Amino acid sequence: MKLALAILNSDDAHSVISHLTRAEFFVTKLSTTGGFLSAGNVTILIGLPDEKLEEALELISKYSHSRRQVIPSTSEIGMGFYSALPVQVTVGGATVFVLDVEQFQKY
């Protein structure tokens, strides 16, 4: 058994989760925050049999999209003056970690 942990853009989360649950995956949704942008994102936990991992990854990848995001960035331009120039970063699609599960119980 595996545990897939996927960090999604908040705008993609509803679509990803509904396609996963329709395909009979069990999903737990957590509201999380990215450390770099301090913006909200969504982390999902999916406990699943090894043979269903590829299907889950395909659904996550199909319904997650990358986006360019503009963030303010301050840099020194000399003599103690600073300029606030916007910087673009590419966020996502999804960032996925897959872990082996040692034990799984439901009581």
Rounded Cα distance between 82 and 89, Å, is 21
Q: Please answer whether residues 14 and 102 qualify as being in contact, where contact means their C-beta atoms are separated by less than 8 angstroms.
A: no
Residue whose CB is less far from ligand 2BA, 39 or 77: 39
Contacts to ligand 2BA by CB under 6 A? 7, 34-37, 39, 41, 89-92, 95
Q: How far is the CB of 49 from ligand 2BA (least distance, A)?
A: 25
**What is the three-class DSSP state of 100?**
strand
Which residue blocks in 3-93 are alpha helix, DSSP H? 10-22, 53-62
- Residue linked to tokens 């069990």: 26
Residue whose CB is less far from ligand 2BA, 10 or 83: 10
Q: How far is the CB of 27 from ligand 2BA (least distance, A)?
A: 17
Q: How far is the CB of 96 from ligand 2BA (least distance, A)?
A: 10
